[in-house]
Structure 1
Amino acid sequence: MPNAEDYPVRAASEARTLSDLDARLVQCRACPRLVSWREETALVKRPAFRDWEYWGRPVPGFGPADASMLITGLAPAAHGANRTGRMFTGDRAGDLLFATLHELGLTSRATATGPGDGLELYGVRVTAPVRCAPPANSPTTAERDTCRPWLSRELRLLRPTVRSVVVLGGFGWQAALPALRQAGWNVPRPRPAFGHGARATLTPRDGTGAPMTVFGCYHVSQRNVFTGRLTPAMLREVLADAAHAAGLPAA
């Protein structure tokens, strides 16, 4: 049942394609606090979006199934992806992320407003370790761990093509490394520390396939941008490096 605590483990392991994984993901109700919050937010809405029919469900990844570069953040924003149903769409963080990807030639347009806006990602997939909008943008570690099978399976299904992963923020870094290990990569011990510009090269545990590089980047949150902790130039540099590591023709 989708509301069972072990639903993510069972459902994710049975998915054979990313579209199958996404179809199973959107049914998940394994974390009661997150289910309650995402659905309440979808009903109450923000006044500016009162005419929207909010998504109000877990948010799947977005981008091609043969992506060579993956970007993973924290969780959907309550009035961003929880509203639109698409990662990093409809909030300030996504505005900067997609504008920068467009500068690099990795998207079809610079803005992301919602499904049907014509946005395409070129060789890039965007996802998150927690798929439901959390109160105060703060999922618990237990919710992170319950949700991990979705990211682990997504990474496993992308393994034939993915060559770089950009992790936005320290929470995302702590969530991504165990998922990468579960998906079949060797993660160094002790685990690499998070920092802006941090990078680590992971090799497949079974000895087959190409290595993959993980890049750390401060999260594209409004707070980080407003305080100058993350500038557009800093973000562009990390994304460009990751694109080159993935073999993408970034500008």
Structure 2
Amino acid sequence: MKKIFSSFVKKVHKCKKCPRLVQFRNKISSEKRKSYQNQTYWNKPVTGFGDLGAKLILIGLAPAAHGATRTGRVFTGDKSADFLFQCLFKSGLSNQPNSDHIKDGLKLKNTFITLALRCVPPQDKPKTIELKNCSSFFKEELKMLKNKKVIIALGKIAFDACIRFYKENYNISGSFKFAHGAKYKINDVYLVGCYHPSPRNVNTKRVDIPKMVSLFKKAKKLG
């Protein structure tokens, strides 16, 4: 499995299917944020990471401009990561409450984190064609995670991407509405909606650590 995943990772890193995203990623990585001026940005598409035998899968929308686009690992090195990993640690799903850089010793427990889109889009708003271009990677990665029992979609766009994936590949039908804690059984997998751990959602108290930890612990029991 590790060899198969390694081959998949190399393929994703070479992808240049979306000119708008490549141009934007290059712009971010050359201009940089002031506090990261001395750092070399990753500036490639980002794949998932974690336990390849995981039952619990977290799906985000896309790499953060100065998080994963800089560090090379999803939900690493930004405020969303700071909040998310406090919650994962308190839920028993990671070995530490922080995700700072790719050599920080972070390990996930029975959990894998990935993305619907592999490159950061301008204003965090991907185009339909860009999500479609990335859907083949999304499909391939999910199929490799053969033990998955629960998918937690972090935010509505990630949730909609999951629904689109299952409708296109498994001929499911019906209405699926995003809400924090919404739960749907799709074939042999539960799909759970979850507010994105963004500073906006945290600062407005739309989501807090107890609420997120509660959702993660309930999701663990589903698996």
TM-score past 0.5 threshold: yes
From 189, 193, 198, the equivalent of 2:177 is: 193
Q: Counterparts of 1:137 and 1:58 in 2: how far apart (Å)?
A: 15
Instruction: Determine whether 1:89 maps to 2:76.
Output: yes
Could you tell me how far apart the structure 2 residues matched to 1:190 and 1:90 are?
38
Given that residues 167 and 215 in structure 1 are in contact (C-alpha distance below 8 angstroms), is that contact kept between their aligned partners in structure 2? yes
Give the alignment partner of residue 138 of structure 1, picking from 125, 141, 148.
125
The answer on 1:23 being equivalent to 2:10 is: yes
- Specify the SS of the correspondent of 1:17: helix
Q: Which runs of 5+ in 2 are unaligned?
A: none
Normalised by the length of structure 2, the TM-score is 0.94
Bigger mean CA offset, 34-43 vs 16-25: 16-25
Runs of 4+ aligned residues of structure 1 deviating over 3 Å after TM superposition are 180-184
Residues 236 and 114 of structure 1: CA distance in aligned 2, closer, same or farther (over 3 Å): same
Q: Mapping of 1:1-251 within 5 angstroms?
A: 17-158=4-145, 160-182=146-168, 184=170, 187=172, 189-203=173-187, 211-246=188-223
AA in 1 matched with 2:181: G
Matched residue of 1:58: which SS? coil
Instruction: Write the deviation string for residues 187-237 of structure 1: whole angstroms up to 9, x where unpaired.
Output: 4x223111111010111xxxxxxx211100111111111111112222112
- Rounded Cα–Cα distance in structure 1 between residues aligned with 2:5 and 2:110: 15
Contact 1:152 1:182 in 2 (8 A): no
One-letter code aligned to 2:192: F
**Residue 51 of structure 1: how far off its partner (Å):** 1.4
TM-score normalized with structure 1 length? 0.84
SS in 1 for 2:216: helix
Q: Secondary structure at the match of 1:214?
A: strand
Any idea what the Cα deviations from partners look like across 1:50-107, whole Å, max 9, x if unmatched? 1111001100101121111100011101100000000000111111111111111111
- Number of corresponding residues: 221
Gaps in structure 1 of 5+ consecutive residues: 1-15, 204-210, 247-251
SS of equivalent to 1:56: coil
